[in-house]
Amino acid sequence: MDKITLQRIEQLHPAAREEVKQIIKECDAALTGRVKVRITQGLRSFEEQEKLYAIGRITSGKKVTNAKAGQSIHNYGLAVDICLMIDGKTASWDTVKDWDNDKVADWYECVKIFAKHGWDWGGNWKTFKDLSHFEKKNIQTKKGLMKMAWRTLLKMNRDKDGYVIL
């Protein structure tokens, strides 16, 4: 796991950090060699979310999100975006390349591992597919298993560090 990925994991919600470390370790082991996973985005502030939402609406460019501030699971530290780092130098979002020659696209090896851990892949969304995005579908709380919906998360109390109290 590279330094940038570790730094981004440490900013995620405390309830997701260890699981994401495990997922990335499993992905890196499955990719055997030239390719490693890098988290390109984890926790995102409401301000950052508003700037992204403005792209293609207020500022120039193609729309990159339909989520306003508070409507992205990134805003709660329970989502990550990834890329594949080739030889530690080149970022790739190629979903079909098989660098380890095991007859399975490296990207889909990662998709399967995230799914095994209960994470939803943005590539499965019906509209506005987001191939680099993964978010925690459900999380164990003191009150039981909770679905991670932004409408619920937005209303929750926060701890001294700003994370929702699960």
The rounded distance, in Å, linking the Cα atoms of 123 and 112 is: 12
pTM: 0.94
Show me where the domains of the chain are located.
3-137
Cβ partners under 8 Å of residue 30, min gap 6: 109, 110, 113
pLDDT in tens, 8-34: 999 999 999 999 999 999 999 999 888
Burial of residue 69, with CB atoms counted within 10 A of its CB: 0-12 exposed, 13-18 middle, 19 or more buried? middle
Cβ partners under 8 Å of residue 83, min gap 6: 37, 38, 40, 91, 92, 93, 132
The predicted model gives 72-86 an average pLDDT of: 97
Residue 71 per-residue DSSP state: S
Fold of the CATH domain 3-137: Muramoyl-pentapeptide Carboxypeptidase; domain 2 (3.30.1380)
**Quick one: which of 14, 33, 28 has its CA closest to 109?**
28
Q: Which helix (H) or strand (E) holds 106?
A: helix 106-116
pLDDT in tens, 109-159: 999 999 999 999 999 999 889 999 999 989 877 788 888 899 999 999 999
